[in-house]
Structure 1
Amino acid sequence: MLEVHGGTPLAGRVRVRGAKNLVSKAMVASLLGDTPSVLRGVPRIRDVEVVTGLLDVHGVSVSAGPDSGLPDGELTFDPAGASQGSIVDIDAHAGASRIPILFCGPLLHRLGQAFIPDLGGCRIGDRPIDFHLDVLRQFGATVDKTPGGIRLTAAQRLRGTKVELPYPSVGATEQVLLTAVRAEGITELKNAAMEPEIMDLVAVLQKMGAIISVDTDRVVRIEGVESMTGYTHRALPDRIEAASWASAALATGGDIVIEGAHQQDMITFLNVFRKIGGAFEVLEDGIRFSHPGGPLNSIVLETDVHPGFMTDWQQPLVVALTQATGLSIIHETVYENRFGFTDALGRMGATIQLYRECLGGTPCRFGRRNFRHSAVISGPTPLRGADIEVPDLRGGFSHLIAALAAEGTSRVRGIELINRGYEDFLDKLDGLGARVSAG
């Protein structure tokens, strides 16, 4: 439990390292190589611990750089001893993570078998694994359901295939990439996700020997290779963490320099940040975000796949929008159940109404499915301290921002979920002048 005394503007500097949504996938990719891989910029977050444990269970040696404190966030992965882990150990290390599904392709190539335990993850919408399993079947895998999970086997080398995604899903695109690179023949993936983290994964795989071409029409073609080597790579910075701290600066009336933030990957966010009334300055070592004073502006915003406004940026920014003048409309088109976190904001004094209709002007795939996926935020409304239970990773950080912006004291429970994606966030809060204490 975290006790937060709000009302203090956050000011100072924080550093972001490698993107959570790339680092974990690059770690899995190390299984595809015949020689060790080196990944730099690795953050100290729970998801990295989970994948490290899963790699260890499968016989991959994971070691830190010269300084065990990871000053450069360097990890080395040696897959020489790769083997099938026990069901009990896999289940114990997987926890609530959904990353085990992405182990399947590399493990099938290397060992001819893989096991997936029952999967968890953040409660933000439907994330079925059926599509992943169907794709693996197309590559030639046999899928057998067991009481404790799913076992996959491949009696012979996987074969390239043609896949068309009904929606440019990041997870499904990663699955195809990690499976296709060593499959026999050519794989064609249509309607692929093109997020910066996906392109960085493509860069990792290309360093390992993969042959991947990316067309402008979201078509990716992968020519399978028989073997791959390890890689040396620095992960791109975490644009989600950077936007989260930027939203915290805006919501609290603060001024934060985010070291490591890259303008190119955040252009869409920066445009919205400026429209709301926030100020930013691109520096040599990052981006400075601040509230310049005066009222904030309401906006109409729709989340979308890259290069649209990222769904993971939406939740932290909603907190800042509770302090904007007028009505803001947010239309969530990526996950159907991402506004559950607003219940706590309502108890803190925010005025937020959820709707089943596609507000904002563009119909989406959730419009006829009875999901409350549009939000109308009326502001400005003063926030007050409250007792909060963290619902998921991004919603949890949003609750933390609200507690920091609110008058009075909040008690935030379930902060371990925030550790999944935010490195040393308590130390960073302390450095920004926040008044927080762990209970």
Structure 2
Amino acid sequence: MTSSATTLPRPAEPNESFDSTDLIRVTGGTPLTGEVTVRGAKNLVPKAMVAALLGSGPSLLRNVPQISDVRIVTGLLEAHGVQVRAGEQPGDLVLDPSSVDRADHAEIAAHAGESRIPILLCGPLLHRIGHAFIPDLGGCRIGDRPIDFHLDALRAFGAVVDKRPEGLHIEAPHRLRGTKITLPYPSVGSTEQVLLTAVLAEGVTELRNAATEPEIQDLIAVLQKMGAIISTLDNRVIHITGVDRLEGYRHLALPDRLEAASWACAALATGGDILVRGALQGPMMTFLNVFRRVGGAFEVEDEPGQTGIRFWHPGGPLSALALETDVHPGFQTDWQQPMVVALTQAQGLSIVHETVYEKRLGFTKALTDMGAQIQLYRECLGGTPCRFGQRNFMHSAVISGPTKLHATDLEIPDLRAGFSYLIAALAAQGTSSVHGISLINRGYEDFGRKLADLGAQVEFPA
């Protein structure tokens, strides 16, 4: 472990600038052991914060992690007149939208940065002030994630979209109306867009081919607490009956299953033993099945007030397997990258077919530089329906293992790849320099402190 003189980065509070170095040095070869705690899901909390815009009174969101996505949304909401402050308990956030107003375009662009969250403010802002502005959107560079789904949905509700050089100006000259929408793909973001827009639209909205991830269900729970009428039917169909008014909410955000899986893969790749406090079995059942198939062991704690899952490497060789990503309830694409690192330590040939983001396997080049044997293919090496199988993308991988990894310099391309690079560095021999760790702060609360607490040898140069 590093000396006490080493300063670990601390995530920013909602109203302060993010203070963190962008480099971490990791000395690998030490199994990670101990416990960490995961708080509210990165893929739910910012959306629940946006939902507070729809209420006529304050909302209280609990279990909020200190991650940069929360800071970004806080800035965007405050730019529109929402008062955001910490609550009485750690992790509590109070959001008061009683003074919502238009925001300066430059201020919106400055807060948005490379986040894709601003597009989700459209529906609530159209209901509240009749106007929304969306600057050029960023986000992780893992493939084509167009906003056409979002814009088509808003137009279907009656919004008018005007594309200008500085961004998109969206108006609602009249009250938005319920509509029928069928998504060409069960996109999480597009489903969230429809939900956040339909709840105050006039009439009934029918959404087909909707995403059904646990974070979507939790957002529906938030909206129902506010007074929305939402029915989830079979075959990815959601009915939303618009209401005239929504109240504030009080909600405990579900824990982050994606972060929990990342720590599980870290335990597997390093031969460690990690108890992930807050992790829940239900949302992770598909991951847990794969974790067990590859040779990992886990134990669920579900006593009152003591929820969590312990993940560990039981010894002996890990098993290669064939794996395909898919929308929920399939194996989540965000689980794929950390699992690929663990598979470099499995005995035999593993096959991974990425069906959701066409560029998500690009991160494996760095792993091959570290000694992993990974070959990418354009063909679909699996039977799960694929979004881009005929578009010439390298989206299947064959991993031959186990291989010894050695330290190198790493440049983080996106959030999940970033944490996966940390796992690889922890499993490797020698000291790696990992650059661009600010991307990891988007979804992993205080990850530096957690690594140190697990016995990792990490250093954040001044």
Provide TM-score, normalisation by structure 1. 0.98
1:132-281 alignment, distance < 5 Å: 132-281=150-299
1:192 alignment partner, SS class: coil
What letter corresponds to residue 162 of structure 1 in structure 2?
K
Against the structure 1 CA distance between its residues 363 and 131, is the aligned structure 2 distance closer, same or farther, given a 3 Å change threshold? closer
1:411 to 428, 433, 442: 433
Aligned to 2:18: none
Per-residue deviation, 1:361: 3.1
Aligned to 2:16: none
Per-residue deviation, 1:130: 1.5
What letter corresponds to residue 73 of structure 2 in structure 1?
V
CA distance in 2, matches of 1:208, 1:421: 26
2:422 to 400, 421, 432: 400
Aligned to 1:428: 450
Q: Deviations over 1:186-222 (max 9, x none)?
A: 1000010000000000000000000000001111000
2:375 alignment partner, SS class: strand
CA distance in 2, matches of 1:287, 1:50: 30
CA distance in 2, matches of 1:401, 1:94: 29
CA distance in 2, matches of 1:363, 1:168: 12
Per-residue deviation, 1:367: 1.3
2:368 to 346, 350, 360: 346
Aligned to 1:329: 351
Q: Deviations over 1:24-82 (max 9, x none)?
A: 00000000000000000000000000000000000000010126xxx2x1000000111
Aligned to 2:116: 98
Between stretches 200-209 and 278-287, larger displacement belongs to: 278-287
What letter corresponds to residue 240 of structure 1 in structure 2?
L
Q: Deviations over 1:140-171 (max 9, x none)?
A: 11111111100001111100111001111100
What letter corresponds to residue 343 of structure 2 in structure 1?
L
Aligned to 1:364: 386
2:110 alignment partner, SS class: helix
Aligned to 2:43: 21
Matched, 1:52 2:74: yes
CA distance in 1, matches of 2:351, 2:231: 38
1:385 to 407, 415, 430: 407
What letter corresponds to residue 371 of structure 1 in structure 2?
F
1:384 alignment partner, SS class: coil
Matched, 1:311 2:329: no
CA distance in 2, matches of 1:76, 1:338: 36
Aligned to 1:111: 129
Against the structure 1 CA distance between its residues 363 and 219, is the aligned structure 2 distance closer, same or farther, given a 3 Å change threshold? closer
CA distance in 2, matches of 1:245, 1:352: 22
- Whether the aligned pair in 1 keeps the contact of 2:149 and 2:183 (CA below 8 Å) is no
What letter corresponds to residue 386 of structure 1 in structure 2?
T
1:21 alignment partner, SS class: coil
2:417 alignment partner, SS class: helix
CA distance in 1, matches of 2:412, 2:453: 23
- Whether the aligned pair in 1 keeps the contact of 2:198 and 2:240 (CA below 8 Å) is yes
CA distance in 2, matches of 1:358, 1:45: 35
Aligned to 2:20: none
Provide TM-score, normalisation by structure 2. 0.93
- Whether the aligned pair in 1 keeps the contact of 2:355 and 2:384 (CA below 8 Å) is no
Per-residue deviation, 1:180: 0.4
CA distance in 2, matches of 1:119, 1:236: 27
CA distance in 2, matches of 1:346, 1:121: 25
1:22-101 alignment, distance < 5 Å: 22-66=44-88, 71=90, 73-101=91-119
CA distance in 2, matches of 1:65, 1:361: 48
Q: Deviations over 1:280-326 (max 9, x none)?
A: 01113200000000000000011001110010000001000000000
CA distance in 1, matches of 2:353, 2:88: 47
CA distance in 2, matches of 1:8, 1:14: 17
- Whether the aligned pair in 1 keeps the contact of 2:326 and 2:384 (CA below 8 Å) is no
CA distance in 1, matches of 2:178, 2:322: 43
CA distance in 2, matches of 1:328, 1:360: 12
Q: Deviations over 1:252-285 (max 9, x none)?
A: 0000000000001100000000000000011132
What letter corresponds to residue 45 of structure 1 in structure 2?
I
1:20 alignment partner, SS class: coil
Per-residue deviation, 1:184: 0.4
- Whether the aligned pair in 1 keeps the contact of 2:273 and 2:310 (CA below 8 Å) is yes
CA distance in 2, matches of 1:406, 1:180: 49
Per-residue deviation, 1:363: 4.5
CA distance in 1, matches of 2:441, 2:183: 31
2:360 alignment partner, SS class: coil
CA distance in 2, matches of 1:186, 1:362: 33
CA distance in 2, matches of 1:138, 1:365: 24
CA distance in 1, matches of 2:391, 2:456: 41
2:125 alignment partner, SS class: helix
CA distance in 2, matches of 1:42, 1:283: 22
